[in-house]
Each structure stands twice: as C-alpha cells, then as structure tokens.
C-alpha cells in the first residue's frame, strides 16, 4: 500500500482539486483509493459528525464509502485552537494514525491531504513534515506558479523531504506565466533533479466565482444590477492606490472585483470605467448617486459590506477557493484538467506502481 501526501510550500495552491483529480484517475486505473485529511481548518457537521469541508467535498467527489468520522480526525475548531495555545494537546497524532490505519485497510493507495504548507501545524505538534514521516508518505508538492521565484521553495521542500519527495506540480499557470515556466523554471528544476509531474494551466471557469456567491459569503447588500449576479469573478483587487494608477491597474487584470472603501468615489469610478465585474464597497458606506447611476449604465453590480477593506480581502483569500468547489460542473472540469495535465506514467513510476 502506498501513502501519497499532497502538500505545498504555501496555502491556497489548489491542493484540494488536484487531490480530487489524482484520486479519480487512480480509481479509473483500477486502484483501490483511500483518503484522509489529517488536519482540517474548515469545520462542518455532516450527519452530526464534525469533519472538514474540503475533506467532505473530496469524499463525495471520489464516492468514498469509509466512515466520515475518520476522514478528518483533527478538526481545528476555535476551541481546539485556543486550547493549543494555552497548553500542549496530547494524542492528536495518535488519533490521526488510528484513523489512517482504519482507512488504509484493503487499499492500494492512500491520498493524504495536506493543510496549509508542509511547515504548518507546529503549534499543534502536527507539522506537515512530522505527519509525513509518521505515515511514511511519499510527497507531491503543489505550487501555484506566479513566477520563477517559486523554484526556491521547491528546492527547499526537496531538501527537507529527502527521499520522500516525488516531484512538483505547477498549478494555475496563466498564459502570461507560461513562457517563463517552460523556458526558465522547468529546465532549472529538472537540472536540479526535480521531476515535473504536471503543469496545469489556469482555467477561467474553474477559477471563478459568481457575484451572487460573493455576496452570500460576505453578507453584503446588492445595490444595483441584480440581473448581473451570475457574472463570473476571477480576481480580487484592492483599490488603495492613487487614482491616476488605478485605471491602468484595473485594466491589466480581466474579470476582476474591486474591493474599495465606500469613501473613495474616485477609485470606484475608475473601477467602473475600467470594466470591473463588480465593486465591493467596505465600511458600510454607500456610494453617491453619480457612482450608482454609472454602475447601472455599465451593468456593474455594487455590493456594500460592513467590514473594512483589509478584513474583506483576508476573508476572500480564505474562502473564495472553497466557493469554487461548490459547483459540480466546475469540480468535474477541474478534475479533468488535472487528469489531462499530470504525467501519470511518470508518477506511477516514481511510486513504484505498474498499471496495465
């Protein structure tokens, strides 16, 4: 039985969707697949059992039959987080190993979902590196490709993981970054002995959320263009610059939602004129009639939210990735993207598996 840990060197790299895609392909190739997320940070109750939201989505996507209570043995509730800072919590790793051993019975491969990065979790005594060692897992590192600088993180992970490191998947590679990935990062990593297990392109549909979903998540109020709430948002921009730089900034990135203080009509107007998908006005401050009228003319919904700009930006960073996994069509599309762009023959070879 092979244990395969899907980890990263930072958060929000797309590990959940990649885990789904890997699992689906393994099942199609006739392997008996198990799954565990040792530590979850998104508590949710399923049939009155506490588990993790991402783990539950993977469980359903891969049509698992194992007991739900085992798929995420440690769920980071607010209570557990507070306790862990006040005193050492005993027995968490033992609990993970117990669930892992139960789930891995009669399996050919166990997918282990990392949370945060492989360096996250020290304060719980559950750093990714420690869990990997205890479960004797081989490791795939998933990196959101944003430039050549990511090679430093990959090389550090390779050094820290030693013989457990299988290779890297470069995820969400945009058209703008494709050339630098192919011409610089990939040849460099190969020269350093790093196997490239996949290069997955950014997909605008998989990587988007609707304005309506955003509004639900933020608890906002829609002021106009209610018929445009199905518009898709791919990027979130913070409108906190000088107005002369704002238009250029907003035009550079397509399908964006601009988070801006309700007291910045100059930035609001720049976003509208630049063709942003929607405006998120913070501080529960309402726009002027001029702004509202112009937004209606341009079919750009305006949402008003209570929290400040920084708090909203942090909330979107944490939650937007999870929103993208709510839609089954997006999940299926994302899994197919993984299957089409991961080098499975190489991965199977690295794992020592022979697939007919």
The domain limits of the chain are 2-203+327-351, 209-319
- Dihedral angle, C-alpha 331, 225, 223, 265, nearest 10 °: 100
| Across 153-171, average pLDDT | 97
pLDDT of residue 321: 62
pLDDT digit string, tens, across residues 66-110: 999 999 999 999 999 999 989 989 999 999 999 999 999 999 999
**pTM: predicted TM-score of the whole model, two decimal places:** 0.84
Q: Say if residues 42 and 4 touch (Cβ distance below 8 Å).
A: no
The 10 Å Cβ neighbour count of residue 312 is 23
From CA 84, how far away is CA 190, in angstroms rounded?
41
**Widest Cα–Cα separation across the chain:** 66
Measured CA to CA, the distance from residue 53 to residue 63 in angstroms comes to 15
**Is the per-residue pLDDT at 63 higher than 70?**
yes
Separation CA 45–CA 56 (nearest Å): 10
Q: Residue 220: which pLDDT band, with cuts at 50, 70 and 90?
A: very high
- Which pLDDT score, from 0 to 100, does residue 246 have? 82
Is 114 in contact with 121 (CB distance < 8 Å)? no
pLDDT in tens, 169-218: 999 999 999 999 999 999 999 999 999 999 999 987 787 888 998 898 89
Helix (H) or strand (E) holding 101: helix 92-103
Q: How many CA atoms lie within 13 A of 4 on its CB side?
A: 30
pLDDT recorded at residue 101: 97
Per the structure block, which two tokens stand in for 95?
A: 């609990």
Q: Answer whether 291's CB lies under 8 Å from 285's CB.
A: no
On average, the pLDDT of the chain sits at 93
Q: Which CATH class is domain 209-319?
A: alpha beta
Do domains 2-203+327-351 and 209-319 share one topology? The answer is no
Q: Which residues contact 203 (CB under 8 A, 6 or more apart)?
A: 333, 334, 337
Structure confidence at residue 264 (pLDDT): 92
User: CB-based contacts of 211: which residues, under 8 Å, 6+ apart?
Assistant: 228, 229, 230, 231, 233, 257, 277, 278, 301, 303
User: Distance from CA of residue 115 to its chain's centroid?
Assistant: 10
pLDDT recorded at residue 254:
84
* C-alpha closest to that of 221 among 271, 283, 159, 174: 283
Backbone angles phi, psi at 87, to 5 degrees: -160, 160
Query: Hey, which residues does 222 pair with through a beta bridge?
Result: 303
pLDDT attached to residue 327: 73
Q: Report percent pLDDT > 70 for the chain.
A: 98
Tell me the fold of 2-203+327-351. Rossmann fold (3.40.50)
pLDDT at 55 over 90: yes
Mean pLDDT of 299-309: 95
pLDDT score at 133: 97
**Residue of 11 and 229 predicted with greater confidence:** 229
Q: How much is the pLDDT for 198?
A: 98
Mean pLDDT is lowest, of 2-11, 77-86, 327-336, for 327-336
Q: Which two tokens stand for residue 77?
A: 């509730």
Closest CA to 34 of 74, 75, 67: 67
**Mean pLDDT in residue range 133-161:** 97
- 286: closest CA among 270, 304, 268? 304
Calculate mean pLDDT across residues 133-149: 96
């Amino acid at each position: 039985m092979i244990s395969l840990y899907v980890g990263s060197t930072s958060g929000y790299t797309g590990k959940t969707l990649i885990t789904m895609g890997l699992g689906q392909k393994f099942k199609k190739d006739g392997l008996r697949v198990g799954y565990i997320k040792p530590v979850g940070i998104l508590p949710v109750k399923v049939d009155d059992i506490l588990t993790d939201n991402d783990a539950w989505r993977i469980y359903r996507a891969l049509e698992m039959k194992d007991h739900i209570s085992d798929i995420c043995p440690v769920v980071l509730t607010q209570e557990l987080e507070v306790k862990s800072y006040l005193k050492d919590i005993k027995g968490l790793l033992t609990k993970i190993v117990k669930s892992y051993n139960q789930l891995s019975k009669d399996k050919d491969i166990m997918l282990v979902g990392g949370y945060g990065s492989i360096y996250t979790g020290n304060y719980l005594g559950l750093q990714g590196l420690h869990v990997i060692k205890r479960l004797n897992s081989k490791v795939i590192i998933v990196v959101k490709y944003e430039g050549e600088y990511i090679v430093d993180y990959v090389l550090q992970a390779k050094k820290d993981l030693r013989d457990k490191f299988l290779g890297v998947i470069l995820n969400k590679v945009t058209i703008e970054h494709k050339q630098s990935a192919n011409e610089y990062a990939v040849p460099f990593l190969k020269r350093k002995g790093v196997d490239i297990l996949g290069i997955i392109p950014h997909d605008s549909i998989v990587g988007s959320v609707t304005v309506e979903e955003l509004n639900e998540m933020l608890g906002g109020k829609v002021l106009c263009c209610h018929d445009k709430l199905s518009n898709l948002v791919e990027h979130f921009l913070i409108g906190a610059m000088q107005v002369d730089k704002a238009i250029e900034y907003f035009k550079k990135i397509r399908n964006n939602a601009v988070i801006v203080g309700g007291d910045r009509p100059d930035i609001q107007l720049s976003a509208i004129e630049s063709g942003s998908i929607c405006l998120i006005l913070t501080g529960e401050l309402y726009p002027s009639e001029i702004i509202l009228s112009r937004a209606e003319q341009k079919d750009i919904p305006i949402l008003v939210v209570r929290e400040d700009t920084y708090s909203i930006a942090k909330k979107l960073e944490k939650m937007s990735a999870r929103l993208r996994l709510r839609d089954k069509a997006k999940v299926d599309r994302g899994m197919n993207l993984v299957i089409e762009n991961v080098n499975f023959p190489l991965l199977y070879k690295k794992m020592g598996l022979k697939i007919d």
